[in-house]
Structure 1
């Protein structure tokens, strides 16, 4: 085990002077200066002519702006699914959920592919629910059961928010995002031209095509204003941090097993922190490094020290920590979604905590919105 990485894990879990590890890296488009950021649906209540998708661009007081290229949840999802590749075999236990599909096939998803992790509807509607619920209930005393089933809950957070559930809320200890500064939004127009215009076809072919031949690709279709990416005049940067306070809070417990679980989760944090950014985020958004990644330890007095830790070192230590916790000795888990579990979940429908508290007058509207946002 790398002495440097091993001692760094000790610092993450015990050094009261250490606030976080941070990693920053500049990125640039594969070609040119235009990238396609993530797009989002229009908020409820938007005017009829403003219901199209939009980018998340925040205007600043100095006239510049910041554009989200890849959000915190999206970066988390990319890291989690990357752990399913061969480079990380043995790092996380194989826990899957399967469901019978309408086409008489069976769909299977790994826990790392589920958006809400251990509290995803697919998990709670499956035969894994009792084991997951037990792990969630005991996490404050012993994080090992949850670490052995859904370790990313302890690193990237989870909220068991559905009605009549545990109510457990674990904060993010690790976070990453990609943003660009000072961008100009571009528009996109398109025109599809069919091989023959509808009125060029023989009458029997026109009749067969119907009143709207464009719907089946037998007539031209223009496209109006659309999102055409953004021109980046400033910089594109990926920033990530592994914070000690939430890490320690999520991984408390005094037993040897609990301590081994804490080291395992901290080591996964180092793997996430050092993981290279995905070069392909979406169509039109290929980003490559523009310099090396800077990793620093940030202390309570604001001082920083540069750290030298490679991704391969982090992986090696994390695999050893997983072995110490006994992850490699655990049998794979496969849960199945059942009709009974779906009915049970549906009988206690999700209720917005913000709305419930606001309705009872326990919080102001602003507090309620903050509860949802957090």
Structure 2
């Protein structure tokens, strides 16, 4: 099965599943560093770590290297430059800085753009979506239909994710590390008193030890990216607005095959693909059929059927139709007052 075009009409196909094995750029001999999170009180937790690690029944530990939200932001980042021609040019300015809508982590529900001149248009788009018409969302911020959005401070409308992706490392051992900072000059050379020297550890003058700090994880099993694209949701958009499912499918696939294959996650967690991805169509009975999906085929679908459908829907893709908004500090302060009310 190698044709993308038929997937919107094939009611038997429920999802595209992508599995990509990865490995550290430095090789398997080096620990890698997942994201760190603030410490939380955990009753009965067998290990203390700032990483997001879960323990299986057999004792193995699985580390989340990149979350669903982070993966969505990486995919959407491709629409800032490489795929910018495929979405409306919507920007928001605050102070001297101007960013594209696709750079905002909460998309159309982001507080910054909600507190701008586009507030009423965005509210109308969410309310229309809730009433069964997703076309206004598509004309403002179509990536909200791909990566989801929750207008939690106003209409309370939720747009589900069309695609989700995560990267996990299986069967990990948690490492710690210790280090010792030694200043170049002694206390006497610098002329500090003993009391001043003790305070100097916080500034960077005096020797400072760091003991049993988090030191990454050593991966004994697989590192794997798992992504799922919900074709049923594409068809629901197509039924609501003919052509929209095709457009959104093109955005989802292009985002996955560009930003979604960016594996430089953070310092100490640079990954590279191990072999080619396994891509399958999942049907209603759970059977899987291989799908040959190359970057060239994905971009051809986006620039062909997907963008043709978008133009027929009057999605503003030309630069002459760019939409620029300015952050309104008064509207932002009004949003602050709603904290706790919802």
Taking structure 1 as reference, are residues 194 and 210 closer, same or farther at Cα in structure 2, changes over 3 Å only? Answer: closer
Q: 214, 237, 242: which is aligned to 2:224?
A: 237
The answer as to 2:285 corresponding to 1:313 is no
**Rounded Cα–Cα distance in structure 1 between residues aligned with 2:200 and 2:159:** 53
Task: Note if contact 2:62-2:168 (Cα within 8 Å) is conserved in structure 1.
Answer: yes
Q: Which residue of 2 aligns with 1:32?
A: 27
Q: Separation in 1 of the partners of 2:197 and 2:148?
A: 53
Residue in structure 1 matched with residue 180 of structure 2 by the alignment: 191
The runs of at least 4 consecutive aligned structure 1 residues that moved more than 6 Å come to: none
Per the alignment, residue 273 of structure 1 pairs with: 256
The SS at the match of 1:295 is strand
Deviations 1:220-272 (A, max 9, x none): 221132111100000100110101233344x2554xxx222221111112213
RMSD (CA atoms): 2.4
Task: Report deviation, 1:183.
Answer: 0.3
Unpaired segments of 5 or more residues in structure 1? 101-105, 353-374
Secondary structure of the structure 2 residue equivalent to 1:54: coil
**Contact (CA 8 Å) 2:163, 2:227: kept in 1 or not?**
yes
Structure 2 counterpart of 1:74: 70
Check conservation: 1:23, 1:239, Cα contact below 8 A: yes
Match of 2:266 in 1: 282
In the alignment, what sits opposite 1:109?
99
Q: What does residue range 330-369 of structure 1 map to in structure 2 within 5 Å? A: 331-351=321-341
SS of 1:138 mapped into structure 2: helix
Segments of structure 2 that go 5 or more residues without pairing to the other structure are none
When normalised by structure 1's length, the TM-score is: 0.81
Are the aligned partners of 2:238 and 2:246 in contact in 1 as well (CA < 8 Å)?
no
Q: Determine the structure 2 residue equivalent to 1:357.
A: none
The alpha-carbon distance between structure 1 residues 324 and 306, as it changes in their structure 2 partners (threshold 3 A), is: same
> In 2, are the aligned partners of 1:143 and 1:253 still within 8 Å (CA)?
no
CA contact (8 A) 1:90 1:319 kept: no
Number of paired residues? 328
Distance, in Å, in 2 between the alignment partners of 1:348 and 1:248 is 36
Show the 5 A alignment for 1:1-374.
Answer: 4-7=3-6, 11=7, 13-33=8-28, 34-43=31-40, 45=41, 54-85=50-81, 87-100=82-95, 106-139=96-129, 140-162=131-153, 165-202=154-191, 212-249=199-236, 251=237, 253-254=239-240, 258-275=241-258, 277-320=261-304, 321-326=306-311, 327-329=316-318, 331-351=321-341
Separation in 2 of the partners of 1:219 and 1:338?
Answer: 47
Q: Are 1:241 and 1:273, in contact at CA under 8 Å, matched by a contact in 2? A: no
- CA deviation digits over 1:272-299, x for unaligned, max 9? 3333521311010111111101110000
Distance 1:190 1:283 in 2: 18
When the two structures are superposed, what TM-score results if normalisation uses the length of structure 2?
Answer: 0.88
The 8 Å contact of residues 156 and 174 in structure 1, kept in 2 or not, is answered as: yes
1:46 CA displacement: 6.0
Separation (CA, whole Å) in 2 of partners of 1:4 and 1:350: 49
| Distance in 2 of aligned mates of 1:122 and 1:196 | 48
Higher relative contact order (CA 8 A, sep 6+): 2
